[in-house]
Amino acid sequence: MINLRELMAFRAVMAAGTTVGAARALSLSQPSVSRLLTELEGRLKVVLFRREGGRLVATPDAHLLLEEVERAFESLEALSEYTGRLSKAVARPIRFIVSPSLAYRFAPRAVALFEAAYPNVPVIIDMRTTETAAEFIANAQADLAVVLLPANHPGVQISPLIDVPMMAAMLPDHPLAHHAALSPIDLHGQDLIVISRRYPARVRIDEAFERAGATMRVRIESATSAAACGSAEAGLGIALVNAFMAREFVSSKLVMIPFEPTIRVSFGMLLSRSAPPRAALTFMDSLRLAAREQIGSTILDPSLPVSGPANVLS
């Protein structure tokens, strides 16, 4: 069996070039280092060093051995790091899903707030649709998600996060930018940038225009609020987006004006029906605070359906 202390002495001599230097590096006496080298040579039945003019000269066999010894010590160092992580009980990451339109400001702010309480818990941010997020949560592929409600899935629980109105986003020099609020009549015949028909809020926008007898001239239909706000900023029209997502992209280049009649949109947090990790519950608090900072309200409109068959958490 190879003796680790002998290999340490051999490695130190190869690095220092002398037994005196090796002894100093290992905090041993010079005779002890010489003895360990002699024992190693006897064990291997190989000459590792020759003395020439009072100096130790490594043989070709010593150089070949050094390559294998270095690889062995690299493996030992990796093993030492791994056992150190085990002893510190490093927490597994929180796996968090958010809509792509909330990944710019809201998600990073929530992570920053969470890090203050759990500085050593990593967060993995993924971006999915509401339907896919619910599947991930139900199948334990993620711990927590923020989605647009309703989210109907029997395998998840829902905790209301925030309830916001629809807004009209446009350039400051738009003729309607000075209005305190905008109705379908005000927007009659205007170039509009609206969300996809697969979202419930779009249906309610269409109904509002129909009731008012106003023409809804859709120039762009977008699946994301990011694209809608970007299109408005490019001067392509007025974007009708919910206030929560609109605040992700608010800038001096856009004016946000309330849309009337009020159409409210709700967001919620999805969790698995099994007991969530304690850190995930703290992360929920961070999400609530980040939402409050972004909008200034976390009141959920009780008249809106939020969950279908899933549980609703307070």
**pLDDT band at 119, cuts 50/70/90?**
confident
**pLDDT band at 305, cuts 50/70/90?**
very low
Percent of the chain with pLDDT over 90: 45
**24: number of Cβ within 10 Å:** 14
**pLDDT band at 312, cuts 50/70/90?**
very low
In the three-class reduction of DSSP (H, G, I as helix; E, B as strand; rest coil), residue 9 is classed as helix
- Predicted model pTM: 0.63
> Does pLDDT of 22 surpass 60?
yes
Angle, in degrees to the nearest 10, between helices 30-44 and 19-26? 110
pLDDT given for residue 297 in this prediction: 47
Nearest to 176 by CA among 260, 53, 289, 86: 260
- Are the CB atoms for 195 and 223 separated by under 8 Å? yes
Spatial separation of the C-alpha atoms in residues 149 and 201, rounded to whole Å: 10
- Tokens standing for 211? 């009731």
- Between 35 and 295, the more confident residue is 35
Domains, the chain, ordered by start: 4-87 (1.10.10.10), 91-314 (3.40.190.290)
Q: Which of 137-141, 143-147, 184-188, 254-258 has the lowest mean pLDDT?
A: 137-141
